[in-house]
Amino acid sequence: MANAESVQEAESAAPKKKGGKGLLMVLGVVVLVLLAGGGYLLIQPRTAHAGTGAAAQAAKPELYLPLDPAFVVNFQDQDSTRYLQVGVTVMTHDQNAVQAMKDSDPVIRNALVMLFSSQTYAGLSDTAGKKKLQAQALDAVRKIVSDKTGKPDVDALYFTSFVMQ
């Protein structure tokens, strides 16, 4: 009978060990999940604050303002007078910038007419020259909007037509 009792004790002890290991494993998994969640929460606020400006900018709709009518200027080539016609549209995400551009339309148009008329035919004959002119025009508009609002809230400037003759 001693043998039977020790077998019963061994059998009853074995499931207790299994249950203890299982409980220990479940607790281990719970601890790992809590640590991972805590680590995520520690990192998440930094990521959210770092991208707040870009996320807010992307959340606002793009606003386009065509500068109508198209710009028509003449400029000198080596031996003849040439004409340039450029359609311009500006893009922003800020309604205040749109209003500032509307209010400053004569100033913007003057700055762009001066810029476009100072170009050379050779400088505008290739894509690189057009891109350089586009960047200069964007800078000019940004400066005017910045003077008006305190922020250069113009995100892009597009040539919607470009004709040289």
pLDDT digits (tens, 9 = 90+) for 26-66: 777 777 666 666 666 566 655 444 455 555 555 789 999 99
Indicate the pairing of strand 156-164 with strand 63-76: unpaired
Q: Is the peptide bond before 106 cis (omega within 30 degrees of 0)?
A: no
Decide: 137 and 115 in contact? Cβ < 8 Å.
yes
Taking only the tens place, the pLDDT of each residue in 101-118 is 999 999 999 999 999 999
**pTM for the full predicted model:** 0.64
Q: How confident is the model at residue 147 (pLDDT cuts 50, 70, 90)?
A: very high
pLDDT reported for residue 55: 57
Rounded to the nearest integer, the mean pLDDT of the chain is: 82
Can you tell me the mean pLDDT for 12-27?
Answer: 64
How far lies 58's CA from each of 53, 94, 98, in Å? Answer: 9, 11, 17
21/81: higher pLDDT: 81
Res. 85: pLDDT tops 70: yes
pLDDT reported for residue 10: 53
